[in-house]
Chains A and B, each alone.
Chain A
Amino acid sequence: MNERKSRFTSLSGLDIERCYGPDHLKGWSAEQDLGQPGAFPYTRGCYPGMYRNRLWTMRQFAGFGSADDTNRRFKYLLDHGQTGLSVAFDLPTLMGLDSDDLLARGEVGYCGVAISSLSDMERLFDGIPLDQVTTSMTINGPAAVLFAMYLAVAEKRGIPFDRLGGTIQNDILKEYIAQKEWLFPPEPHLALIVDTIAYCAAHVPKWHPISISGYHIREAGSTAVQELAFTLYNGLTYVEAAVKSGLEVDAFAPQLSFFFNVHNDFFEEIAKFRAARRLWAREMERQYHPRNPRSLQLRCHAQTAGCSLTAQQPMNNVVRTTLQALAAVLGGTQSLHTNSMDETLALPTEEAVKLALRTQQIIAAESETVNTVDPLGGSYFVETLTNRLEEGALELFRKLDGLGGMVSAIERGYPQREILDASQRYQREIERQERSIVGVTTHREEDARSIPILKIGPEVEQEQVARLSDLKKSRDPFKMAGSLEELQEMASCHQNLMPPLIEAVKAKATLGEICAALKEVYGTYREPVVL
């Protein structure tokens, strides 16, 4: 019988056969390649009981407007059963700029919350028990500064640092590759990241000082294999930098965390999570021989794919997100963000984000998919895909080795170009109608109904600017300037910058002032243009 297509491929372009059987797994060993859950090579999951012991953390990324606006959204989410917080910062904050910077005009509070000072951070977490809720902060270029603010808030409230749990994204390599919100050149920035890793190892043991992220690489158009390869290779680059600085691998590797995208291809995505855990465990074992098994475990957060959502017929996005969320759960994620249906149009409304949270709650409570660990383990198809993703990633590892490592590859534009080419291939497949998007390329409706969207008013920026002006009047200018001088001096002589950063934010130096001071020492990054 004629098949519907001459060639069936995964979303990432892997050829998919009609049916999978034992022949596809020749050379594969259940003992070596699958193992037991909670044991090397962790293909089946980091923990023996997975969701039988503890469900994933439901963590919706949220942030808009002022610190007070976002504080109210946090409380709304916690009231509706969310189990962890995740802060979205606005673009000026992501770029290390204050709300009153000329370059920030028109963008304050738009893509996230505006945080320019310790006082903003205090209002953001007002009434939230920092020793009971874990907080993830999506911040990279100025991550160390925002982390210093968070620590200073805890200190003011008398909460010991060893009771703080959470994550800063702090992954600058994927900024150069994909998300493009950078500050300093790679070398000094890697050193700053190692400072945060060392500081957490010594003082904030429950904190993840980095979330090595494939999410943005995928959103920029990569395939699943590229997402897996570039992310894990970035991870190994951070480990190498930390070890070279003199840290023992077991002193910090258990605190590393990862962050993956969950796209539309259900089985490929499940296989990606499984391959990621196995590949990380194998590479860490091969290169660093850690003694603590936790150093081998890849723990991750996942977010459904923003780039898979459509502005057309936005309610369809709920269905897409549900399938993606289910794939993340079957893949064994430790925490999850589900996108809201309106996120191709604007930041989500309360109603939309509640529905996204309910999606996770329904999977957890009603689908009965959480009763057994790695339910797809041993499937001929899923194991074959897991193998192919791991092999594909290893091939890219060799290319990156050949280019002299990730920093040098980035400077030559290699990962950027590979991702752009993949995104162009996908675009052409859509245009040639080799792939369909319901509501966009098929089943279109001319006058589909629109949904309400969240609006940010200009008053957010005006109020932020006024608050900054008050802050600058209220502080001791000599103490503030002294704290920045101290910071620059420590940066020049390669000392750990976390202590002087905490002092600077307490002296009411602003985010923009601190980043400007560091740029004087480190310089700024200029992108190699890849087109």
Chain B
Amino acid sequence: MTVAATPLRILIGKVGLDGHDRGVKLVARALRDAGIEIIYTGLHQSPEQIVTTAIQEDVQAIGLSIHSGAHNSLFLRILGLLREQGAGDIVLFGGGIIPDEDVPRLKAAGVQRLFRPATPMHDIVEFVNGLRTER
């Protein structure tokens, strides 16, 4: 079996209460256009809902957008839930309004990648495509 044949399924969503979905929808469209299968959760998802959907849908990665300032607690709760439910192999990445100074702590906790505002779309597509070969 070749690596390139591995189908990629990614959960893209919004966690927490913020409704800023302009960026996440553009990311979802760009990934879909790049041939990646996208499960889009919609808005206002709790960490529990995100993790349940990710496991049910058997995704390789979860990409979350957070503009509420609650990224520290939300990402950490999701990482905790993934580990608790034996799904620690699901890659977690994200973007939104995340100050640079919060990034090292979130990465150390296990968030694989955090995209800054104004990241070119192809950087995100390239990152997600890179997940194929890692598995």
**A→B interface (CB under 8 Å):** 91-92, 94-95, 97, 102-107, 110-111, 175, 179-181, 219-221, 307, 310-312, 344-347, 420, 423-424, 427, 431, 437, 440, 450, 453, 456, 527, 529-531
Set of chain A residues within 8 Å of B72, measured between Cβ atoms: 106
Evaluate contact between B22 and A107: CB separation under 8 angstroms: no
Rounded to whole angstroms, the CA-CA distance of A347 and B99 in the bound complex is 11
Q: A220-B22, A344-B117, A531-B29 are in contact. Are A94 and B100 (CB under 8 A)?
A: no
Q: List residues of B whose CB falls within 8 A of some A CB.
A: 16-22, 25-26, 28-29, 32, 38, 40, 42-44, 46, 68-70, 72-74, 77, 97, 99-101, 116-118, 120-122
Separation in Å of the A5 CB from the closest CB of chain B? 22
Residue among B43, B117, B121 with the highest chain A CB neighbour number at 10 A: B117
The distance in angstroms between the C-alpha atoms of A435 and B117, with both chains bound, is: 17
- In the bound complex, do residue A311 and residue B116 qualify as a contact, i.e. CB atoms below 8 Å apart? yes
Q: Are B69 and A111 in contact (CB under 8 A)?
A: yes
Minimal beta-carbon separation of B124 from chain A (angstroms): 12
| Docked pose: A255 CA to B118 CA in angstroms | 40
With A106-B16, A431-B120 as given contacts, are A219 and B22 in contact (CB-CB < 8 Å)? yes
Q: How far is the CA of A179 from the CA of B120 in the complex (A)?
A: 24
Q: Are A456 and B69 in contact (CB under 8 A)?
A: yes
Contact, CB under 8 Å: B97 / A440? no
CB distance from A48 to the nearest CB of B (A): 40
Apart from A107-B68, A527-B43: 9 A-B pairs, beta carbons within 8 A: A103-B44, A106-B16, A312-B118, A344-B117, A345-B97, A427-B26, A453-B99, A527-B42, A531-B38
What residue of chain A has the Cβ atom nearest to residue B69's Cβ? A110
Q: From the candidates B17, B26, B40, B122, name the one contacting A529 in the complex (CB within 8 A).
A: B40
Query: Which residues of B lie under 8 Å from residue A221 when comparing CB positions?
Result: 22
A-B CB contact pairs (8 Å), 12 listed: A91-B16, A91-B18, A95-B44, A103-B46, A107-B16, A310-B117, A310-B118, A344-B97, A420-B29, A423-B26, A527-B42, A527-B43
Bound together, the chains give a CA A94 to CA B19 distance in angstroms of 10
Given contacts A107-B16, A424-B26, A456-B69, contact A529 B118 (CB under 8 A): no
How far, in angstroms, from A97 to B44 measured CA to CA in the complex?
Answer: 13
Chain B interface secondary structure, helix, strand, loop or mixed? loop
Determine the distance from Cα of A107 to Cα of B16 in the docked complex, in whole angstroms: 8
User: Within the complex, what minimum Cβ distance (angstroms) separates B86 from chain A?
Assistant: 23
Q: How far is the CA of A310 from the CA of B97 in the complex (A)?
A: 11
**Are A107 and B97 interface neighbours, CB within 8 A?**
no
Hey, which chain B residues are within 8 Å of A307, CB to CB?
Answer: 22
Rounded to whole angstroms, the CA-CA distance of A444 and B38 in the bound complex is: 32
Q: Are A440 and B99 closer than 8 Å at their CB atoms?
A: no
CB-based closest 5 A-B pairs: A180-B19, A106-B73, A91-B17, A110-B69, A106-B70
Residue of B nearest to A342 (CB): B99
In this complex, what residue of B is CB-closest to A343?
B97
Q: Is A92 within 8 A of B19, CB to CB?
A: no
Contact assessment for A180 and B43 in the assembled complex, using a CB-CB cutoff below 8 Å: yes
B40:A111 contact, CB within 8 angstroms = no
Given the complex of chains A and B, what is the CA–CA distance between A424 and B28 in angstroms?
A: 11
A111-B68 contact in complex given A92-B17, A94-B17, C-beta closer than 8 Å:
yes
Q: Are A529 and B117 in contact (CB under 8 A)?
A: no
Question: CA–CA, A410 to B25, complex, Å?
Answer: 17
Cα–Cα distance between A215 and B117 once the two chains are bound (Å):
20
Measured CB to CB, the closest approach of chain B to A273, in angstroms, equals 23
Nearest chain-A residue to B33 (Cβ)? A424
Contact yes or no, B40 A179, CB < 8 A: no
Q: Considering the complex, give the chain A residue whose CB is closest to the CB of B100.
A: A450
Residue in contact with B29 in the complex, picked from A424, A431, A437, CB distance below 8 Å: A424
